Each structure stands twice: as structure tokens, then as C-alpha cells.
């Protein structure tokens, strides 16, 4: 049965459920940053998913990236599956712009996360949900795998 890693839960906020992934907002005001977590037990690497889920994962990462790029005016979208600290398979989708806190380097290990205050979090989640939730996303999901 799928269970979200406690560190991912502590560092991010639930936005919505897509056909494969739980979509989460990273709690760092420095970057527009989504995390996609496939709801598949024991998945550590993308190749741990069957071919159908691998395709779905890439489609969902592309969808998240396209939405972030449009909504933020990002110069570049970084999509990565690192997982050295949290082994549960998760994909980072991060909107980047020249002059952001880590530009042009990677966001990992650059300063301290700046938590979203309550008002900013509520506003960001509302805006993201309006963009990320589509009617097909509300279909029942199989999370028993």
C-alpha cells in the first residue's frame, strides 16, 4: 500500500491527485516547486514502475512543467528525480529564472528553505489548484499497488 514518506510530507503541501501522482507544493517561497509522487508502493526508481506508469509519470511531469512555465514566466523548468535523501520515487518540477536564489546552479544545497507564511501558502495552493485540477483528475484512483 502507498504511504507518503514522512520527510516529503513535512517539506511539502498536498495540491491535488493526478491519475498516477500525488502533486505537492514544496514549502520554499524562493521557487515555484512541485513534487510529483507516484502512488505506487516500493517505487524508488522510474524503472520500478511498469511501462504504462512510466509513460504516465513523464506525461504528468511534462504537464506540471508546462503549467509552471506558463504561470510563472520561468526561463527554464528543472525536472529531476534525485532521491538521495528520500528514496521514495518523487519528481521535482521547479520553475527557474535568472536572479533566483540559486541561478544558474541547482537549487539543492543553496541556502535555507524559506517557508511560505500562512497567507502566501493559502493563496498559492488556491491558485495552483485552479490550474492543476482538471475534471479527469477527479476519477477514483487505484492506490493499492
Write the pLDDT tens digit of every residue in 49-61. 999 999 999 999 9
CATH fold group of domain 6-103+123-131: HIT family, subunit A (3.30.428)
For the chain, first and last CA: distance in Å? 6
Please write the tens of the pLDDT for every residue from 71-94: 999 999 999 999 889 999 999 999
Q: Is 61 helix (H, G, I), strand (E, B) or coil?
A: helix
Please write the tens of the pLDDT for every residue from 20-48: 999 999 999 999 999 999 999 999 999 99
Distance CA(122)–CA(117), nearest Å, equals 9
Distance CA(2)–CA(4), nearest Å, equals 7
Element spanning 23, H or E: strand 21-26
Dihedral sign for Cα atoms in the order 36, 22, 69, 134: positive
Amino acid at each position: 500500500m502507498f504511504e507518503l514518506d514522512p520527510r516529503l510530507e513535512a517539506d511539502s503541501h498536498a495540491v491535488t491527485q493526478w491519475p498516477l501522482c500525488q502533486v505537492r507544493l514544496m514549502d520554499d517561497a524562493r521557487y515555484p516547486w512541485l513534487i510529483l509522487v507516484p502512488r505506487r508502493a516500493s517505487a524508488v526508481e522510474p524503472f520500478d514502475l511498469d511501462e504504462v506508469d512510466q509513460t504516465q509519470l513523464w506525461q504528468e511531469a511534462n504537464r506540471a512543467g508546462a503549467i509552471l512555465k506558463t504561470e510563472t514566466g520561468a526561463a527554464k523548468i528543472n525536472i529531476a528525480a534525485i532521491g538521495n535523501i528520500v528514496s521514495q520515487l518523487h519528481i521535482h518540477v521547479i520553475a527557474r529564472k535568472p536572479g533566483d536564489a540559486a541561478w544558474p546552479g541547482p537549487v539543492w544545497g543553496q541556502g535555507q528553505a524559506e517557508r511560505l507564511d500562512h497567507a502566501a501558502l493559502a493563496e498559492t495552493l488556491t491558485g495552483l489548484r485552479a490550474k492543476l485540477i482538471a475534471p479527469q483528475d477527479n476519477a477514483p484512483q487505484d492506490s493499492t499497488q
